[in-house]
Amino acid sequence: MGSTRVTIAEGKKSFTRLVRQTQEGKEGVVITKRGEPVAAIIPFEEYRRQQKMEAFLELLELRRRLASSGVTARELYEQSRKELEERS
């Protein structure tokens, strides 16, 4: 995915156009401050894909930590369920 670079000042003036450009062209916009990237406008589907990937990677890390702890998923489930039932 390509991207357009604009300063914060340019972004303020052209926000609607930049959002439309991102939506229609599926191209991101990088917002810069003093020449350094500080934010981005990306197509919503790209944002959604990144959120899903991040959640997946967190699950993989949890799985790795769980496996190295010696606790089974079944034991974790049963203990969690027991604690929830005690709260009710």
CATH number at residue 24: 3.40.1620
Can you give the pTM of this predicted structure?
0.66
Whether 53 and 73 share a structural domain: yes
Whether 33 and 8 share a structural domain: yes
Amino acid 44: pLDDT: 93
Containing structural domain, residue 77: 45-87
N-terminal to C-terminal alpha carbon distance within the chain = 50
Amino acid 32: pLDDT: 97
Amino acid 65: pLDDT: 87
The rounded distance, in Å, linking the Cα atoms of 81 and 44 is 36
pLDDT in tens, 24-72: 887 899 999 999 999 999 999 999 999 999 999 999 998 888 888 888 8
Whether 59 and 32 share a structural domain: no
Whether 49 and 82 share a structural domain: yes
Whether 49 and 69 share a structural domain: yes
The rounded distance, in Å, linking the Cα atoms of 28 and 16 is 14
Helix, coil or strand: residue 42: coil
Mean pLDDT of 8-19: 95
Whether 64 and 32 share a structural domain: no
Q: What are phi and psi of 71, to 5 degrees?
A: -90, 135
Structural domain count of the chain: 2
One DSSP character per residue, 60-77 reads HHHHHHHHHHT--HHHHH
Amino acid 1: pLDDT: 56
